[in-house]
Structure 1
């Protein structure tokens, strides 16, 4: 089965997922596409948004982590770990085709997918919403990793919101992509424990790796024709951007961001 991965650039967590998939997928990965979102706010706007939610110290701490990651990615000889700090570096290591896409719903990208004759799109946290034509283009559709046990915690930052609400287990779902946000049939689900006093950074790392494992299981089921998507009953819940009030809830649970 010919699989196209659609994701986005990231310094910390998505390289872990993509590296695992490229190392372990028994099916043909035809390429990795990193999307751009022209409507995303600038870095300064993003910093202001998170400053309002989390305050100054967590933002400065994250900024120092980000600078270190950028340096290690640009100057690999300074990276003394086995970790990658960009999806591009992962693809270079695996000699995998890599491209940047401004708009996954543009005709140029749809043509690119048709020319590749892909059977399945595996979505790994891209920042764009797939429209109907793209969803229906691959023979077996599109599937997505969501780090929550759907239908709970649909939307943005599910790991953060689960921790803020005091969940003891963090869900991970592999689901088909449909028109609604995180509403498609669920192929696989699992949970991992949220230890007392842990950090969001550790939970994101663990969930991205477990999500990659589940993704490969789902791809294999689809290839064998044994997948049985389900639609859980209930409306679930939807969350958006973190707020100062939610961060108070998060800290009250005894957690830290990094």
Structure 2
């Protein structure tokens, strides 16, 4: 089965997990190409200076310095760069211009004859021609137990809201936001994890869920888990006040 990954050049969590995913891909499937989007932690495309300012304004000096140091260190470590991991595994990088839904970009993807698309932190809205491009569909990884906690930064919100459990959901993409039927879902206890620890945990768990999903699609023997809109909750990016409440309750980012 021929797979195209749709992801972003995240400097903190993705490189090592995509490395794990490609290394453990079953023999009947292979990643034949990858699209790497620009990083957009706030859910939209912004300049680098705007990202810095917004990070400082919302999360404060300590968070800004901590992740600033991690960002610099990632630039010095080739194993923290998604594109380097792809090169190590000889996975071609599909160069796109602008929105992935443009006809010329879809034609570039079609040239690789994918059977399946998999989005991992894909940060553009997918339209039907892209969703339907591969005959076996388009999967997305969401690090929460859908239909709860659709939207952005679920690792922050589940901790802030004192949830006991969270998890990961691999679902078939439709035209909604995190609203498609679920193929694999895994649950995990939050305990006293920091947000960074929870992200580490759920990202790896997510790769394992993707591998399980690939196996299920290969065999064809699976039952979908409903993702009903009437049971959903949705969260956008935290505000400065949300962060203050998070810290005041004794929650920790790292």
Fold match by TM threshold 0.5: yes
Which stretches in structure 2 are left out of the alignment for 5+ residues?
A: none
Among 221, 229, 233, the residue aligned to 1:226: 221
CA distance in 1, matches of 2:241, 2:9: 29
Q: State yes or no: 1:52 paired with 2:44.
A: no
Which whole-Å deviations, capped at 9, do the CAs of 1:158-182 have from their partners, x for residues lacking one?
1111111111222210001000010
Aligned-residue CA RMSD (Å): 1.7
Deviates more, 1:200-209 or 1:241-250: 241-250
CA distance in 1, matches of 2:221, 2:75: 42
Query: What's 2:69 paired with?
Result: 64
CA distance in 2, matches of 1:232, 1:131: 19
**2:237 alignment partner, SS class:** coil
Partners of 2:9 and 2:39 within 8 A in 1 = no
Partners of 1:169 and 1:194 within 8 A in 2 = yes
CA distance in 2, matches of 1:112, 1:176: 22
Among 131, 134, 139, the residue aligned to 1:138: 134
Residue 111 of structure 1 and its aligned partner are, at CA, apart by 0.7
Q: How does 1:63-212 map to 2 (within 5 A)?
A: 63-73=68-78, 84-101=79-96, 102-196=98-192, 198-212=193-207
Residue 141 of structure 1 and its aligned partner are, at CA, apart by 1.0
Deviates more, 1:87-96 or 1:226-235: 226-235
Which whole-Å deviations, capped at 9, do the CAs of 1:110-136 have from their partners, x for residues lacking one?
112222111100110111111111001
**If the length of structure 2 is used for normalisation, what is the TM-score?**
0.91
CA distance in 1, matches of 2:102, 2:67: 34
Q: Residues 225, 8 of structure 1: CA spacing in aligned structure 2 closer, same or farther, 3 A cutoff? A: same
Residue 28 of structure 1 and its aligned partner are, at CA, apart by 1.8
Partners of 1:36 and 1:103 within 8 A in 2 = no
Partners of 2:94 and 2:108 within 8 A in 1 = no
CA distance in 1, matches of 2:6, 2:63: 30
Query: What's 2:37 paired with?
Result: 35
Residue 53 of structure 1 and its aligned partner are, at CA, apart by 1.9
CA distance in 2, matches of 1:220, 1:103: 30
Partners of 2:168 and 2:206 within 8 A in 1 = yes
Partners of 2:12 and 2:70 within 8 A in 1 = no
CA distance in 1, matches of 2:201, 2:95: 26
Which stretches in structure 1 are left out of the alignment for 5+ residues?
A: 74-83
